[in-house]
Structure 1
Amino acid sequence: MTRKTVRIAMNGVTGRMGHRQHLVRSILALREQGGLDLGDGTVLWPEPVLVGRRAHALRALAERYGLTEWSTDLDAVLADDTVDIYFDAQVTAAREDALKKAIAAGKHVYTEKPTATGLDGALQLARLAEAAGVRHGVVQDKIFLPGLLKLKRLVDGGFFGRILSVRGEFGYWVFEGDWQSAQRPSWNYRAEDGGGIVVDMFPHWEYVLHELFGRVTSVQALATTHIPRRWDEDGRPYAATADDAAYGIFEIEGGIVAQINASWAVRVHRDELVEFQVDGTEGSAVAGLRRCRVQHRSATPRPVWNPDVPATEVFRDQWQEVPDNTEFDNGFKAQWELFLKHVHTGAPYHWDLLAGARGVQLAELGLKSSAEGRRLEVPEITL
């Protein structure tokens, strides 16, 4: 067995997502399992180089996990020929320039989304990467979750017959920060810092709908700021200038209609923080992060509307659980493994910067639709 070290510059890992999902549950988890076996006698050994602006935070992280390399000098890290991959989990406003630098330095790039603050910038990144001949990928974690993997199994198996509609509910109450600290950073609620639920979540909706059901062809959205005043990490009040809720209707090729609500100002009354209901002529399913339940045409009860008597049926009991039938790994880690294989073996991989640009496009059009109060077509984009 040959062990090949792959050095990964990881920028933004002092943040919540970069730290928990990408560093700890993906890269360090790969190291704990002995590396990534490529199946040809080669094992990839990921060696993270932590990058960021705050030296004390990077030092603390490195010491906590027994890592030796960290730097606040991104240019120096990118100039290091031994660094193979650049990963970005920074705030959105800082991402585009950093990715351009990494591509210019000849690094393969893997990044969180949105990839840029606008479609022009996102497409430029994809074109630069293609011209430079580097491999590139964008995190699209939701489709690697157990619930959505089960849902995809149903779609691929023809369970639904002709799919009619998709309904999604996402969100939870994010504390304002005055009497309880907020679960999300304050920049998420300032449009001038790249915040907003549309730019955060519409890229997710794009790839979920695209991967499972088909290309989104139109969008009609309403974005709003339900909580106009919040308190930051230091307890100071600030004006929330970004949208904290978005209600969207998406048309999908083939006539499927999707309705997805996303809100950071909603209290949860569902089984999981995100759920998608898919209805088809032959059956329906409800999928969340981990669970997926189905109701086939042959087992659909006959509901009768009668508001004059109490409901005697427990509607959730009328659905059947979809079994796991396999072991599901962490979704972020699963995609990291695919990207590393893509970089080192050329294995097929289509979650690239062009796919990331489609997400930026949908967010951009969603905000425009909300501002203009009308439905907008979603043109197909290419390099």
Structure 2
Amino acid sequence: MGDHVLGIAMNGVTGRMGYRQHLTRSVLAIREAGGVVLPDGSRVVPEPVLVGRSERKLREIASRHGIERWTTDLDSVLSDDGISVYFDAQITSAREEAVRAAIAAGKHVYTEKPTANTLAAALELAKLARAAGVKNGVVQDKLFLPGLLKLRRLVDAGFFGRILSVRGEFGYWVFEGDWQEAQRPSWNYRTEDGGGIVLDMFPHWHYVLEHLFAPVRAVTARAVTHIPERVDEAGHPYAATADDAAYAVFELDGGVVAQINSSWTTRVNRDELVEFQVDGTQGSAVAGLWNCRVQHRAMTPKPTWNPDLPTGERYRAQWQEVPDNAEFGNGFKAQWELFLRHVVADEPFPHDLLSGARGLQMAEAGLHSSRTGRRVELEEVSLS
């Protein structure tokens, strides 16, 4: 049983997410640990090849981490038989063309989302991958984080009884870039570059709702641009043409209603940057990315509405913390390990390009609902 060395072309690792989460905390961490163990006891060891536009940045990253190969020529790595997997963490507007080329070259594909700019393009990528017979996956990292893993445990255990509703709050204040540097790149706020919080976050909410609760069947949303002008990385003002906040209601199978606010123009008054409250007939839970608190039916207090008296209840203290009961690693790394086993050992991997296309469908439906003021039903999306 020999180890499998798997060449991975990693495009977009000079960006914050591509570098921190995918390169250093996932692929390099897996390599340094000796690879991922396969069912037969052998290991698959990833060997990254860095791809990007900046020679200087690529050279510096490669030197810092002892990576032998890097290039600004994507075609050269796609024609290299020693590279089996193509990974994409570029800006959204550049992703579709590169993924299409990787599939045509016979590479297995793992990519950030959204996978393309439109549902039609995302579906075409999924169909091309199926026709080419290549393995494919989409990053759905939040499913692998401690808070949502605990929430999954509660759902599987039947803790909630019949689930009634989900309420999510996500966001923080992203500085405009004038008196304080923005925490996000300026392209996020330009529609022409693939920016916008709906396109960025609705695919996340789709896989969270679909995998934890039930398929999404309808969307009603309002997307807005609260901050119309921002300042870019060079200190130049620019028009923010993309939405920076979205307020949405999602209708799920079984009558579950999910309300999720997404905003880059809100100040945080939560324990975590994203929190989901799930209410059911037998109990409720509030889960963030790390923690999860519960209140069972038998332990639910009896609040009484009385605006004439100050509230003496310490409501937060009436909830119980869900224990870890396990060691939780980096969510991105956990999904990378699953994908590598999928590629080499053909283990199941449900987070494919078709799943990514359904997330983009929900984003498009949200934007359409916002433009028209109407509720939008989601049709079944398939490769047939």
Does the TM-score normalized on the shorter chain lie above 0.5?
A: yes
Name the structure 2 match of 1:131.
Answer: 131
Q: In the aligned structure 2, how far is the partner of 1:188 from the partner of 1:348?
A: 33
What is the distance in 1 between the residues matched to 2:77 and 2:70?
9
In the alignment, which residue of structure 2 is the partner of 1:15? Answer: 15
Provide Cα deviations, 1:8-35, integer angstroms capped at 9, x if missing partner: 0000000010000000100011012111
Q: Could you list the per-position Cα deviations for residues 282-312 of structure 1 after superposition, in whole angstroms to 9, with x for gaps in the alignment? A: 0000000100000000000000011111111
Match of 1:348 in 2: 348
The 3-state SS of whatever aligns with 2:254 is: coil
Distance in 2 separating the partners of 1:380 and 1:177: 41
Residues 1:379 and 2:379 aligned together: yes
Name the CA distance, whole Å, in 2 between partners of 1:33 and 1:83.
21
Pair 1:335-2:335 in alignment: yes
Residue matched to 2:318: 318
Aligned to 1:176: 176
Q: What is the Cα deviation at residue 2 of structure 1?
A: 2.2
Q: For residues 341 and 31 of structure 2, what CA distance do their matches in structure 1 show? A: 15
Q: Which runs of 4+ in 1 moved over 2 A?
A: none
Specify the alignment match of 1:229 in structure 2.
Answer: 229
8 Å CA contact 1:283–1:297 kept in 2: the answer is yes
In 2, Cα distance between equivalents of 1:282 and 1:45: 45
Q: CA offset at residue 212 of structure 1?
A: 0.6
* SS in structure 2 of the partner of residue 68 of structure 1: coil
Q: Deviations over 1:207-245 (max 9, x none)?
A: 000001110000000000001110000111001000000
Task: Give the letter for the 1:147 counterpart.
Answer: G
**Residue 26 of structure 2 corresponds to which residue in structure 1?**
26
Aligned to 2:149: 149
Query: Structure 2: how far apart are the matches of 1:201 and 1:6?
Result: 31
Contact 2:11 2:90 in 1 (8 A): yes
Aligned to 1:368: 368
Question: In structure 1, the residue corresponding to 2:270 is in which secondary structure?
Answer: coil
The amino acid that maps onto 1:275 is E
**1:206 corresponds to 2:206:** yes
Deviations 1:234-285 (A, max 9, x none): 1110010000000000000000000000000000000000000000000000
SS of 1:6's equivalent? strand
Residues 1:88 and 2:88 aligned together: yes
CA distance in 1, matches of 2:43, 2:285: 39
Which amino acid in structure 1 is aligned with residue 125 of structure 2? L
Aligned to 2:275: 275
CA RMSD of aligned residues (A): 0.6
1:214 aligned partner, one-letter code? A
AA aligned opposite 2:351:
W
Post-superposition CA distance 1:75-129 (Å, at most 9, x none): 0110001101000000000000100100000000000000000000000000000
Same amino acid, percent of matched pairs: 70
Match status 1:239 vs 2:239: yes
Q: Which runs of 5+ in 1 are unaligned?
A: none
Distance 1:229 1:41 in 2: 56
**What letter corresponds to residue 37 of structure 1 in structure 2?**
V
Write out per-residue CA displacement over residues 135-165 of structure 1, whole angstroms, 9 at most, x where no aligned residue.
Answer: 0000000111100000011001100000000
CA distance in 2, matches of 1:86, 1:258: 35
Deviation at 1:41, TM superposition (A): 2.6
The answer to whether the 8 Å contact 1:108/1:134 transfers is: yes
Distance 1:377 1:36 in 2: 41
Counterpart of 1:351 in structure 2: which amino acid? H
Q: Is the 8 A contact 1:222 1:369 kept in 2?
A: yes
Name the counterpart of 1:265: 265
Q: SS at the partner of 1:2?
A: coil
CA deviations on 1:23-78 (whole Å, 9 max, x unpaired) are 01000110121111114231111100000011111001101111110000000110
TM-score, length-scaled by structure 2: 0.99
Within 5 Å, give how 1:274-313 maps onto structure 2. 274-313=274-313
1:349 is paired with a residue of what secondary structure? coil
User: For the residues of structure 2 that align with 1:209 and 1:103, how far apart are their CA atoms?
Assistant: 29
**Whole-Å separation in 2 of the counterparts to 1:57 and 1:329:** 28
**AA paired with 1:47?**
E
The question of whether the paired residues in 1 share the 8 Å contact of 2:39 and 2:345 is answered with: no
Q: Find the counterpart in structure 2 of residue 255 from structure 1.
A: 255
Q: Is the 8 A contact 1:2 1:41 kept in 2?
A: no
| Separation in 1, partners of 2:34, 2:74 | 28
Counterpart residue number, 1:357: 357
